[in-house]
């Protein structure tokens, strides 16, 4: 039982992906990685039959999906989109029950079995405790679990996800990726667009690396790491994680800009591009083995470190404030905030009071706030220069 793509080309007005060929089998967790605009989302949408191929064919267990009715296909393939918006005040279980729609007749209501399947899906993803809650009252990480539970309620054999960890803090990212790996181990074929190459390397059994609408390479992590430089156009160091034995990569070379001593408040990869462009910098507080910690450590920057997956202690917070004192400027990256790293936002507020703060705001704070509004409240107090990206931040130094 497998999924097979043969010379698939697809797009909207023009072709976005071209001559895509690969086979995937149930029980695999496949990550799709590549630069923006490389065709990752188009590939997911084409497999889901949301886009019609302009060439080639997609086969599910030997049958061309072009011949499978959408409702029948929805019993086999489920999709978790990148952005899910709920316009009405539905309860969590109501949203999950929407996944039963392909299995119901035109005017048929959900029965006892449908409720059992929906609640089982919620328990599988760890959101059973949210029963009775409105989807407008839960955190971003919790909502992502609910949407995955809705997809699982379809009882699919193939689960397609478009950036399931986008805008989530590191704890929720790890939790979601662990869950997807377990689903694959349970026999589902999981294919996910993943924006963080290191997350993909840690959790996926195979990776598709895309560039300019084509697959550059497809295989196990150890088979594709040598192509990462080609895909992203940067020099990287490839290392094995000392505990897991998995590969991870560190970008190592960008043109260095600026002579000011800069302190960077970041996490989860949000400060990577910024730190690679700085001549003199420090960073904190960062959890050991976090992507930004690895990069700062590899660049030899002074770091305030915290234990992996642990909240920031008062001692680390004080060290962070002292580095802020020594810095000429402080840059707050576009980082999500949970209760574990909320003290980094307090440190940013301290920097703003010193008149040193620059804030990179790519994503509205409400979408990065996983503290029931506490982070948003602190963020609104910041007195800083707000910029849209790393380039604007650097030009402001």
**Residue 252: inside a domain, yes or no?**
no
Predicted pLDDT at 241: 67
Residue 258 region by backbone torsions, left for phi larger than 0, else alpha for psi between -120 and 50, else beta: left
Q: Output the domain CATH number for residue 340.
A: 3.40.50.1260
Asked whether residue 251 is domain-assigned, the answer is no
Last residue of a domain, one of 240, 270, 293: 240
Within-domain flag for 250: no
Rounded to the nearest angstrom, the gap between the alpha carbon of residue 393 and the centroid of all alpha carbons in its chain is 23
Domain annotation covers residue 320: yes
List the structure tokens of 156.
């699919």
Beta bridge pairs of residue 30: 191, 206
Query: What's the domain range around 230?
Result: 2-240
In percent, the amount of the chain with pLDDT more than 90 equals 52
For residues 231 and 172, membership in a common domain is answered with: yes
Question: Do 272 and 139 share a structural domain?
Answer: no
Q: Give the CATH number, domain containing residue 96.
A: 3.40.50.300
If asked whether residues 23 and 90 sit together in one domain, one would say yes
| Secondary structure letter of residue 87 according to DSSP | -
Q: Which of 209, 240, 271 is the last residue of a domain?
A: 240
Residues 119 and 233 in one domain: yes
Does 207 share its domain with 299? no
* Residue 204 resides in a domain: yes
203 and 312 fall within a common domain = no
Q: pTM for the full model?
A: 0.66
Which of 191, 210, 240 lies at the terminal end of a domain, its last residue? Answer: 240
Mean pLDDT of the chain: 88
**Residue 255 banded pLDDT, cuts 50, 70, 90:** very low
Q: Same domain, yes or no, for 167 and 278?
A: no
Looking at the structure, do residues 165 and 36 belong to the same domain, yes or no? yes
Q: Per the omega criterion (within 30 degrees of 0), is the bond before 285 cis?
A: yes
Neighbours of 389 (CB within 10 A): 13
Residues 109 and 236 grouped into a single domain: yes
Q: Quick: pLDDT tens for 40-62.
A: 999 999 999 999 999 999 999 99
Q: How many domains does the chain have?
A: 2
The region of weakest confidence among 6-20, 173-187, 272-286 is: 272-286
**% the chain with pLDDT above 70:** 95
Domain-located, residue 59: yes
By the 8 A CB rule, do 278 and 352 touch? no
């Amino acid at each position: 039982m497998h999924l097979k793509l043969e010379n698939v080309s697809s797009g909207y007005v023009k072709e976005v992906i071209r001559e895509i060929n690969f086979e995937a089998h149930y029980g695999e967790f496949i990550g799709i990685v590549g630069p923006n605009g490389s065709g990752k989302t188009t590939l997911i949408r084409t497999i889901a039959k949301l886009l019609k191929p302009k060439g080639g064919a997609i086969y599910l267990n030997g049958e061309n999906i072009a011949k499978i009715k959408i409702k029948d296909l929805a019993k086999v393939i489920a999709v978790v989109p990148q952005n899910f918006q709920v316009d009405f005040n539905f309860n969590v279980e109501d949203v999950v029950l929407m996944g039963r729609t392909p299995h119901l007749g035109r005017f048929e209501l959900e029965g006892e079995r449908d409720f059992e399947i929906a609640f089982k899906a919620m328990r599988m993803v760890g959101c059973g405790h949210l029963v009775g809650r409105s989807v407008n009252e839960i955190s971003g990480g919790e909502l992502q679990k609910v949407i995955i539970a809705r997809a699982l309620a379809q009882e699919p054999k193939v689960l397609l996800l478009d950036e399931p960890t986008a805008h989530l803090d590191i704890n929720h990212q790890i939790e979601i990726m662990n869950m997807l790996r377990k689903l694959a181990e349970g026999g589902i074929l999981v294919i996910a667009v993943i924006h963080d190459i290191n997350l993909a390397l840690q959790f996926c059994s195979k990776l598709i690396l895309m560039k300019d609408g084509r697959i550059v390479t497809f295989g196990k992590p150890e088979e594709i790491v040598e192509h990462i430089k080609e895909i992203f156009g940067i020099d990287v160091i490839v290392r094995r994680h000392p505990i897991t034995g998995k590969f991870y990569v560190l970008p190592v070379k960008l043109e260095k800009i600026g002579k000011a001593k800069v302190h960077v408040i970041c996490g989860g990869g949000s400060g990577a591009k910024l730190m690679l462009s700085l001549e003199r910098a420090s960073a904190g507080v960062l959890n050991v083995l976090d992507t930004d910690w690895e990069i700062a450590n590899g660049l030899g920057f002074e770091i305030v470190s915290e234990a992996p997956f642990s909240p920031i202690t008062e001692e680390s917070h004080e060290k962070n404030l002292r580095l802020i004192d020594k810095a000429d400027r402080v840059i707050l990256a576009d980082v999500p905030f949970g209760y574990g790293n909320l003290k980094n936002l307090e440190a940013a507020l301290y920097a703003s009071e010193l008149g040193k703060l620059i804030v990179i705001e790519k994503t509205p704070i409400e979408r990065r706030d996983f503290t029931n509004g506490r982070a948003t409240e602190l963020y609104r107090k910041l007195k800083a220069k707000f910029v849209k990206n790393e380039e604007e931040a650097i030009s402001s130094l």
